[in-house]
Structure 1
């Protein structure tokens, strides 16, 4: 391949490098967090929409608040520890192997807090219950060594969402309650990866340029806020049987932020040459062959500099159906089916304020996923309650679009938990959950044509503690 043709191919790919970094990929690697209740954690998320006395129903199913008869305040924190190991290799678009190690363990122990409060009204408003909660429904944090073999795909991925939910429930009769909640959601995103400027320069025919020898860190960060709603009901057709259903809406986000490129001096020194070539081309007679390369000349000469960026995206809706049956006054069995509408994330289009960086579309093609869980609780005595659960959770990702930002696959959840009723007013919860992840395979390309292939092996451990006070 000639220098000119390689230059055209790879510099054209380079125009989209920021698109590969931007917010769409962050959300494609987004992670659904259900850890707003340690009680639910101990049951593998079974019974979330019919949880007796659990203030987390403010956001899980506001309709269930109607069956809470005391002012209730609770605080939960769950530490999520993802462990993963990569085994594979990478090569660039010239067929040359990429150097580097396996990236280390990308997961760190990350706390996820939540707080919720429920207040039943009295007197003329006794059928009304109000509630508020702060929780994190989506989040992700992975970080690899900056010199690992997949550094051109991902280094740091840090995505946080925080929801403020204000809910109200109306108990229409002693066995049926409906509720509606308003959600304000704040999102923060930080992503980084290395860019192979050596490959860009070698592809452009710059003398002495060698792929993999002139890396620079590219970083995107931004934030946004959006609004949504949650609605649900709980019906108790008998004293021992309860049915709960809730729907959480999609939330539209318009993320705005900054893209920065820490380009090495060797590349920055070539940019005046690209700008000069572009200027000469624009003065050339009409029909000059250089006009075919003009967009890439302008992009390489004026791109890879700090710029504002924006992207519109939508977090998915969820539907949850919960059942609970009290076999005795001290033993309960619960089950959940939750469907997450990931297909709303077909793609995200990223726009840059720098006119020399073309808009980029990041495709996802994620599929809807289903969680099925079964859990049980046993009141050993008035002071202690034991619980446990098992669940199967589908991943929305698939082999064609999976990235190392979240090496996810289908999961099996196993949980145990305990509640200590210290007094009539105060209780303390603790839970542990182990998540086994089916080994995901990776075959991911960067916008410069570098391919990362291999497999991840990993699991996650979750530890939760909570306190609840009723008055």
Structure 2
């Protein structure tokens, strides 16, 4: 393998790896559960058995809970706060080392808006008992951005991953208490990742004598010739969602759904910036094309809701997300030849929640919930692109039924995150010539509002 191919493979691997691990605060990994503000207000308890148009993508079978044409629009603002305390050293322990310079990177999580829309249409006449629906939403995504010159700049600067799903679903009432449903998902994924490059270290380490990096007489020093690269790529792919609901009476509802994993082959470009004149003719730093595999994981959900009285309901959710499908990131050249692979090491995760709703009157409903969300990351492989760990979710919400046709929902959720640690060694094969060790202190606030119109 040529130097050019090795460098491009490593750079693209890091970028795509960053897209996968640079999680947003809405859930662990890069999963987003903000399809429904009503669900947000109860920490997603009973998320797939409610009278909510978001069932189009969450559990198509539960679309039969809606007996009128329904349009719903949800907007959630996710505000992540994360503070890093740590340091690193150039070249680790292989050679005499020097500390990394720079600050803590500031707050990488600016407020991010997550919109979702859905429409459900119960059919009449000869097709009565069938319901169809469509939704547009963002089930996975992230955006983190550090300040220029921060201590971890050689690992991450900007991470921006967007997925947009168009879901078309159909549901059937098998009996009065049993429904089944299925949907087709068209998913568009776009990723843009960047990091700094320590060209000073690249020059002195490539001189044939790595000790030059710490020789006062040598003109090129680590951290004195920083450049950058940015990788962007996109792809569209198809998946599916299936579900069932059992509601033997007006008090009890049980739902189960499964969303498939969706495999993307991202096609992207690599753009180098501020390459020193000394390296201007070096083919390793030429802009180029490449590709990598991205998998959005499978999600299996079990929900239950039970009405103890006409006005009070208790709900629960269990969800398993198949993050272990991200075994590695395989890098390919344009002709399809595999030129490198990066291990991933994520685990499947479990999410458990409990929530309740209380109808104050026909016009107002209050709700709340608490949940525990497990992180797919681990202390060995966690990166600053994802200041993520296990977390607790605390939620409150309310519904105002303005009329028989119109209702407004609002919710607030507070997420507390167990302090994640970073302990990254030198990995020259992946282009990392420095260590990074530290700890994050983070939390998130989510604010949501939605409108549902029935006609």
Whether TM-score is above 0.5 comes out as yes
| Aligned mates of 1:15, 1:189 — CA distance in 2 | 17
1:335 corresponding residue in structure 2: 316
2:198 corresponding residue in structure 1: 196
1:75 corresponding residue in structure 2: 73
| Aligned mates of 2:201, 2:335 — CA distance in 1 | 23
| Aligned ranges 1:236-315 → 2 under 5 Å | 236-269=247-280, 271=281, 301-315=282-296
**Do 1:19 and 1:360's aligned partners in 2 also have CA atoms closer than 8 Å?**
no
Could you report, residue by residue, the CA deviation over 1:156-193 in whole angstroms, capped at 9, with x for unpaired residues?
Answer: 00001010000000001100000000000000100000
Out of 172, 179, 189, which is 2:181 matched to?
A: 179
Deviation, 1:217, is 1.1
Out of 339, 342, 345, which is 1:359 matched to?
A: 339
| Aligned mates of 1:16, 1:468 — CA distance in 2 | 47
1:279 corresponding residue in structure 2: none
Instruction: Out of 438-447 and 166-175, give the one that drifted further.
Output: 438-447
**Do 2:7 and 2:284's aligned partners in 1 also have CA atoms closer than 8 Å?**
no
Out of 161, 164, 171, which is 1:162 matched to?
A: 164
Deviation, 1:469, is 0.3
Could you report, residue by residue, the CA deviation over 1:362-389 in whole angstroms, capped at 9, with x for unpaired residues?
Answer: 2211000000000100010111000000
1:114 aligns with 2:107: no
| Aligned ranges 1:388-467 → 2 under 5 Å | 388-445=368-425, 447-467=431-451
SS of match in other structure, 1:201: helix
**Do 2:12 and 2:270's aligned partners in 1 also have CA atoms closer than 8 Å?**
no
| Aligned mates of 1:65, 1:194 — CA distance in 2 | 48
Out of 148, 152, 155, which is 1:153 matched to?
A: 155
| Aligned mates of 2:5, 2:117 — CA distance in 1 | 49
1:281 corresponding residue in structure 2: none
Out of 12, 15, 27, which is 1:22 matched to?
A: 15
1:283 corresponding residue in structure 2: none
**Do 2:53 and 2:72's aligned partners in 1 also have CA atoms closer than 8 Å?**
yes
| Aligned mates of 1:130, 1:98 — CA distance in 2 | 57
1:323 corresponding residue in structure 2: 304
Deviation, 1:26, is 1.1
Could you report, residue by residue, the CA deviation over 1:208-242 in whole angstroms, capped at 9, with x for unpaired residues?
Answer: 11011001011000111110000001101233111
Deviation, 1:351, is 2.4
Deviation, 1:263, is 3.8
Could you report, residue by residue, the CA deviation over 1:343-363 in whole angstroms, capped at 9, with x for unpaired residues?
Answer: 1000011224599x9933222
What's the TM-score once normalised by structure 2's chain length?
Answer: 0.91
2:34 corresponding residue in structure 1: 35
**Judging changes above 3 Å, is the alpha-carbon distance between structure 1 residues 311 and 12 closer, same or farther for their aligned structure 2 residues?**
closer
What is the Cα-based RMSD across aligned positions, in Å? 1.9
**Do 1:390 and 1:415's aligned partners in 2 also have CA atoms closer than 8 Å?**
yes
Could you report, residue by residue, the CA deviation over 1:74-132 in whole angstroms, capped at 9, with x for unpaired residues?
Answer: 00000000000000001111421110000000010000000001000001100100000
Deviation, 1:141, is 0.5
| Aligned ranges 1:43-62 → 2 under 5 Å | 43-51=42-50, 53-62=51-60
Task: List 4+ stretches of structure 1 deviating above 6 A.
Answer: 10-13
| Aligned mates of 1:89, 1:12 — CA distance in 2 | 31
2:26 corresponding residue in structure 1: none
| Aligned mates of 1:331, 1:192 — CA distance in 2 | 49
